[in-house]
Amino acid sequence: MIILHHLRISRSSRIIWLLEELGLDYDLKCYDRTPEFRAPPELSDIHPLGKAPTVEVDGRVMVESGAIIEYLVERHGGGRLAVPDEERSAYLEWLHFAEGTLAMPLILNSLKPMFGGFGERLEGFVSAEVTKLLDYMEAHMAGRDWLLGGTFSGADINMGYLVEHMQATGLLDSRPNLAAYRARLMARDGYKKMIELGGPLRPPAKG
């Protein structure tokens, strides 16, 4: 049995989505954030880092979204969400692009209002980096339904959480290809089930 330790309003939502798309049986254990918006100490009892997603599978405990997605698709997917051999390099690139390249500047950008800005130099750097990365993605999605064209894959699941950050911070307003991509992601049954079981990807807007 696969056990997913899910922290609400976090990256671990994407692993619910993955497991639903793969049609796998799993035990979902949900945790709430502390008033400081941190993970609760109970998660540290599962893995020393106390982060989510954390998955118990095949006798060990795994963290890191990209690694979990890659492992579950290859070892337990039964061919579902598999990509052709000729697309594997592109698949791995996009799968790890989400957290390896895009996540940090995008999340920094979304956190900026909480800290009253970052100062001119850092704010300018983050803004330029976000613009470069999202313009790259916008151009890539022209004429494509999914990151690999006609093949929905684990790379799209890994990206979905970050696409919600883009939407919430107005970054999709001038990027119609990415906005249409988000709409396709949200229309999938697995996405809807993720929200039903795990809750929203973003905290509710204040006011």
Inside any domain, residue 128: yes
**Full residue range of the structural domain in which residue 67 is found:** 2-81+192-198
Same domain, 51 and 118: no
- Give me the CATH number covering residue 8: 3.40.30.10
- pLDDT per position as a tens digit, 61-109: 999 999 999 999 999 999 999 999 999 999 999 999 999 999 999 988 7
What residues pair up with 3 in beta bridges, in sequence order?
27, 56
Q: What amino acid occupies position 198?
A: G
Same domain, 64 and 159: no
Inside any domain, residue 205: no
Split into its structural domains, the chain has a count of 2
- Whether pTM > 0.85 for this model: the answer is yes
Same domain, 71 and 7: yes
What tokens were used for 13?
A: 């939502």
Task: List, in sequence order, every beta strand (DSSP E) within the chain.
Answer: 2-7, 26-31, 54-57, 60-63
Same domain, 178 and 91: yes
- pLDDT per position as a tens digit, 42-65: 999 999 999 999 999 999 999 999
21 contacts 80 by C-beta, under 8 angstroms: yes
pLDDT exceeds 70 at position 113: no
Write down how long the chain is.
207
